[in-house]
Amino acid sequence: AQTVTQSQPEMSVQEAETVTLSCTYDTSESDYYLFWYKQPPSRQMILVIRQEAYKQQNATENRFSVNFQKAAKSFSLKISDSQLGDAAMYFCAYRPDSGYSTLTFGKGTMLLVSP
């Protein structure tokens, strides 16, 4: 069974600074997708960034980028130029590229952003 581990229950960052959230996963699959989702107090899960395992290039979406290390099964999220609106719970998630498209989530990291 696949597992996703987020070892940082909470992280803090100041506005305009950079923060990195960690995620490791365990799988025997060779093809899969990894995601970072953001869940603000409104509860709606919002997709931040997606990485396909077959791609060596790390995904980037504006201020958000990932460091994908397939051999180490590591998938960290870097948020640059942090903004107050980035404060939320962040979940790392895994999905195999086979079968039905269900997601396995980590327990989440609460990101606090201070002015």
Please give the residue ranges that form the binding site for another protein (CB under 8 A): 4, 33, 37, 42-47, 50, 52, 91, 93, 95, 99-108
Nearest-CA neighbor of 37 among 16, 66, 68? 66
- From CA 84, how far away is CA 113, in angstroms rounded? 6
Residue closer to another protein, measured from CB, 52 or 70 = 52
Q: Transcribe 62-95 into DSSP letters.
A: TTEEEEEETTTTEEEEEE-S--GGG-EEEEEEEE
Residue closer to another protein, measured from CB, 13 or 93 = 93
Residue closer to another protein, measured from CB, 15 or 54 = 54
